[in-house]
Amino acid sequence: MRRIKINTGLTLRSYLVFAVIIVGFIALAIRVFCLQTINFDYYQKKVVDQLTTESTISSERGSIYDASGEVLATNVTSYRIFISPSSIQKAMQDGRAGLDEFISRGLCEILDTDYDTVYALTQKKGSLDATVMRNADDESADKVLAFIADNSLSNVLYVEAQSKRYYKHGDLATHVLGFTGADGGGLYGLEYYYNKELSGIPGKYITARDSYGNEMPYEYQSYIEAVDGYDLHTTIDIKIQAILEEQLKAAFEEAAVQAGVCGIVMNVKTGAVLGMATYPDFNNNSAWTLSDFYQAKLDASGFDASSKEYSSLKASLLQKMWQNKSITDTYIPGSTFKIITSAMGLETGVVSTGESFTCKGSYKVAGEIIHCNKTRGHGLLTFAQGLQQSCNPILMTVGARVGTDTFYQYVKSFGYLERTGIDLPGEARGIFYDEKSFGIVDLAVSSFGQNFKVNVIQHLTAISAIANGGKLVTPYLLDSMTDADGKTVWEHGVSVRRQVVSSSVCETLASVLEEGVSGNGGSKNAYVAGYRVAAKTGTSEKIGDNKDMRICSCVAFAPADDPEIAMIIVADEPTAGTLYGGVVAAPYVANCLEQMLPYLGVEAVYTDEEAAKFEVEIPDFAGEVSYTAQSKLSKLGLDCEIVGVGTIVTAQVPAAGTMLGKDTGKVILYVGDTAPVENIRVPDVVGMSASAANKVLINAGLNISVKGSQNHGTGAGPEVIEQFPAAGTVVGKGDVVTVTFRYLDITD
């Protein structure tokens, strides 16, 4: 029997190859299993991403309203014009030669764009979306749509409706509202702080497309609806805001302020900000355009418009223009801080309002002599009078009695060592001494508000604590938020941080401060007839900035016996006139309160002295019997002169509706054929005392209408700073000359 020899080496190799094949199949099977099951979602997404394009569906940005529901910021429709470069290139390959040039020329003519720029966009191979113009108006969009329809360009050229931010009142509340950028996101103010809430959640539209951008039927095509942003309902009262801005502008212009003015009006009980403004302002609808004030600074630089220096300065000025001084800037509060020092002294019991002091014009601390604002001294004063006259030595004495440790703790308790937490971006921190190094000289200087810095909202919040009975509240601007259906999704609640001082101390201080306005104190220019106003003025150096410049300010709250609102005006670097807060800021605080308090429903309560100075409205006497008209005028407290022959009134001066002061006003009634004649040249009374101006105008046969500071008739203190009509104007007998009085001899 023949034996067969087996090649074992070949058999082993065969087994080995077979085994390798089997292992390979197993690995492949495992890999396929992983691809189709375990990693299916991952690889499916990669395929979907290659086959689909995702288009964002913008959510509608929420609107912003004032406290009464008036729209402050909303959206208007604008249009984005864009092309699909890939589709243009494919169309050209399919026979539409020169399509890129045709579209570029057409859009250049319609949109007044640069041909080369548009043409460059058409050459972006692989791109499905290239923006030609954002924020196009209705007219431009309609022309592009017609261009598309007339030339069968619907697959290569597109018009997309978008929302554009619009500020209804332009330059009102600009620094509070802020503005949005090109992408619709908030950049400053409430727009930035509440950007997430305003923005909502964008939706998505996912579409399958081929490499040329053409839509393809695909099972993963989907639509995710956008969620619109919330509407903001703020505490800003548009009427109060407008009054505040008007007065800030007037203060800025009269005192030739170089670094801007700012002001805040706040509800003392809740912390709700009713008005907040900075001047110079700007227009939110064109936020990247310098206002006239800042453009003048840029023009005065002498830089060439194409230079880097010009661009750098412009960017710096834009940043300055956008800053909300009430939030971002710090300043030395000056004598307005004496209210806080007084609260410390009264609360700790180291002083009483009736305690007597003698001011000799200076105060010596640790070998250093610190002067009073009245260098020759105030003489004998009570503590209340010392606060009203803004006496530095008296306040330093009280500060020394309080002591460094207790004083520092009160500074902390009043909120000066922390931010207020107001819902606006960029709030600056106050700058105060380190507790361990706070010495007796620092204490003396701090007691009258010098050598440390606060921000404006921080200081007004502390003053509001004095006005509301001692509670430190958190200031705020957002009252509530509502969704697209009008449903309230969030509402603000009053936040009291702590009780700082007792209500009895607050009542005492309010009374003292009110007497400083209505009596012979340094805040007389903050007086408003019929209202008890508590106020304090201040003037400080710009230590560390520009020692030659001053900051003038005034804080106030009213009515003093039951405060509703507190306000502050700060003028940074005034350069014209008397540079004290009592002259630069206080009169404009008074002008604001005179309009705001009646608007808020606070009823005026006049003293007998104030009632005697009432102005009354002159009726229309045309056609009446002269002696009947004379009798009516007598009952109104007005004098009367009849000119001409006859019994029926044919004309009168001043005209019906004019306001005249009781006991000083005189009406000229013309009868018969006699008519008024303009033959009196208005005398110049600017700079005169109240009594002198009154005498000159009455002797000239004219009536006088008084505006401004109180105690006009006494001839003590106030001077005429303005008159209308101007001196030299020719008017008729009995015409009214309006004069504005102000105390110019007061210091802080």
- DSSP assignment of 135-147 equals EE-HHHHHHHHHH
Using the predicted structure, report yes or no on whether residue 713 has a pLDDT greater than 50: no
| Furthest-apart CA atoms within the chain: distance in Å | 172
Ranges of each domain in the chain: 13-50, 58-234, 328-481+492-605, 614-743
Q: How far apart are CA 151 and CA 256, in angstroms?
A: 60
CATH superfamily of 328-481+492-605: DD-peptidase/beta-lactamase superfamily (3.40.710.10)
CATH tag for 58-234 (out of 3.40.50.1000, 3.40.50.20, 3.30.565.10, 3.90.1310.10): 3.90.1310.10
Per-residue tokens: 164: 């554009």
Among 27-36, 216-225, 701-710, name the most confident range: 701-710
Intrachain domains 58-234 and 614-743 with the same fold: no
How sure is the predictor about 545, in pLDDT bands with cuts at 50, 70 and 90? low
Q: Which of 36-45, 361-370, 696-705 has the lowest mean pLDDT?
A: 36-45
614-743: in CATH 3.30.10.20: yes
**pLDDT (tens digit, 9 = 90+) per residue, 567-621?**
999 999 999 989 999 999 999 999 999 999 999 999 999 888 888 778 899 999 9
Q: Which of 36-40, 352-356, 442-446, 726-730 has the lowest mean pLDDT?
A: 36-40
What is the residue-wise DSSP string for 307-328? SHHHHHHHHHHHHHHH--HHHH
Cα-only R_g, the chain: 37
**pLDDT (tens digit, 9 = 90+) per residue, 213-267?**
555 554 545 667 889 999 999 999 999 999 999 999 999 999 999 999 999 999 9
Question: What's the pLDDT at 32?
Answer: 63
Which of helix, strand or coil describes residue 87? helix
Using the predicted structure, report yes or no on whether residue 712 has a pLDDT greater than 50: no
| Separation of CA 210 from chain center | 52
Question: What's the pLDDT at 2?
Answer: 52
Using the predicted structure, report yes or no on whether residue 20 has a pLDDT greater than 90: no
Q: How far apart are CA 334 and CA 445, in angstroms?
A: 10
Placement of tokens 């619907």 in the chain: 154
Q: How far apart are CA 401 and CA 383, in angstroms?
A: 13
DSSP 545: T
DSSP 284: G
